[in-house]
Amino acid sequence: MTPPFIHTDPNDIAPTLMSPLRPHVIVLFGANGDLARRKLLPGLLHLSRAGLVPDCRIVGTSLDDLDDEGFRKFAHTACDEFASRTVSEQQWETFESKLRYVGQAAGPGGLAEAVAKAEAELGGEPRRLHYLSVPPNAARDVVRMLGEANLVERSRIIMEKPFGTDLQSSRALNAFLHETFDEEQIFRIDHFLGKEAAQNILAFRFANGLFEPIWNRDHIDHIQIDVPETLSLENRAVFYESTGAYRDMVVTHLFQVLAFMAMEPPTALEPRAISEEKNKVFRSMRAIEPTHVVRGQYLGYRDEPGVSAHSETETFIALKCEIDNWRWAGVPFFLRTGKRLAEGARIISIAFREPPKSMFPIGSGVGAHGPDHLTFDLADASKLSLSFYGKRPGPGMKLDKLSLQFALHETGRQSDVLEAYERLIYDAMSGDHTLFTSAEGIERLWEISSQLLETPTPVRPYAPGSWGPNAIHQLVAPHAWRLPFERAWRSTAT
């Protein structure tokens, strides 16, 4: 058994118990794209300097005609702009010595030669990680190239969303992938699940005797998963016109978070057991009914470059979905996401059932602020809040809504956190599928979406800077949307 690796660099993250990784050659397709610039190259830099990926070579490839030096300059600029931690010149020199580049014009033979050189530098038989940071229509060509270059053995492959656009295309994509790669080699990435706060859901649910017994329909009234965005298309009109908010966000992100909230306790904290419980949730979900969906489009969307003047693509989606099993029967899950909304947030809010009868007098304040809520904030500065009624100090029986709050920075270990892409790249290199989507799971989600995709409801206009079309209030009635909050999160100031 390999001994654990204990990272102890006092200038970096705090001492962390991690398993050492075998030497790796990382092939980064789309190496000079926006995702590589903002997340992947800075993330690989941090993993490398933290000692979590101590022995690797990174072979970048794209359609652009670059050499090793050009790629290193691109990576240096990207890391200077987007790296979350300060990097010394010595640390950068160590990292850039691991960077190589080969243009895709060199074909499978050129790629195979570049990888072979990188492997020879490492010695032995290092593992291979192929990251496909490419548009969906280019993914098949990349997989073919990897097969023709004989780079499948000892390899794992990370796929970016979307994983198809409907049931038929997702089945066809998975069948195509399985011609070259085994399912165990495929890692379909969802950066939402890579966030520390999302993983904390598992710890919160299954490690605490206070909450585990009440995590069911007897005590929970409804659940909201709310991910509004203030951003517009950000030059992604061609991609967005072919997907829309439902395909882009709900299937690949919000449903995955829902599974963490709704799954049964796994038999062990290991990838196969957790994946099976997630898939049980998906199998138990009822088909999405178009009457339980509100689609919206912000005013001005059709004026965006690359958007049809008659586009019916939704930039906003809100829906109610149900899980048909003993734990969740009768508990609605409300999901909302969209572009150009009033705030940017990533909130999960659990509303508990109110007492069946109140002994408090009229005017006491009980019921005035709705049910008790447990709220997870999945933003990078992750927080958790539990609201409840408590007596107002002074004479009489006046009650106010109070809250217990926790924020990640209060642990004093915020520097330990790996960013979402860093965690997911590390997990893929480790062969850990816990935070990734399986072929079975993604196909089931497209299956329950078929009716909505075949007969979508009309898009309703909404003003930029609002919370979406007015019809969302009828969708959630007799409840109310948790966002916007009536009370702000407690200030982080000491």
Just list the catalytic residues.
Answer: 253
**Burial of residue 325, with CB atoms counted within 10 A of its CB: 0-12 exposed, 13-18 middle, 19 or more buried:** middle
Torsion of CA 415, 159, 40, 4, to 10 degrees: 40
Pairwise CA distance, residues 277 & 263, whole Å: 6
Question: What tokens appear for 271 in the block?
Answer: 């990838």
**Burial of residue 276, with CB atoms counted within 10 A of its CB: 0-12 exposed, 13-18 middle, 19 or more buried:** middle
Rounded to 5 degrees, what are φ and ψ at 332?
A: -75, 140
Question: What tokens appear for 290 in the block?
Answer: 């178009």
Contact partners, residue 225, CB within 8 Å, separation at least 6? 254, 257, 258, 261, 333, 334, 335, 336, 347, 348
Q: Return the closest-CA partner of residue 434 out of 286, 216, 263.
A: 263
Pairwise CA distance, residues 423 & 430, whole Å: 10
Helix ranges restricted to H, 313-470: 420-430, 439-454
Structural contact between residues 317 and 294, judged by C-beta atoms closer than 8 angstroms: yes
Phi-psi domain of 372 (left: phi exceeds 0; alpha: psi -120 through 50; beta: other): beta
Torsion of CA 235, 41, 177, 110, to 10 degrees: 110
CA angle 374, 375, 380 (to 5 degrees): 150
Query: Which of helix, strand or coil describes residue 285?
Result: strand
Pairwise CA distance, residues 306 & 323, whole Å: 38
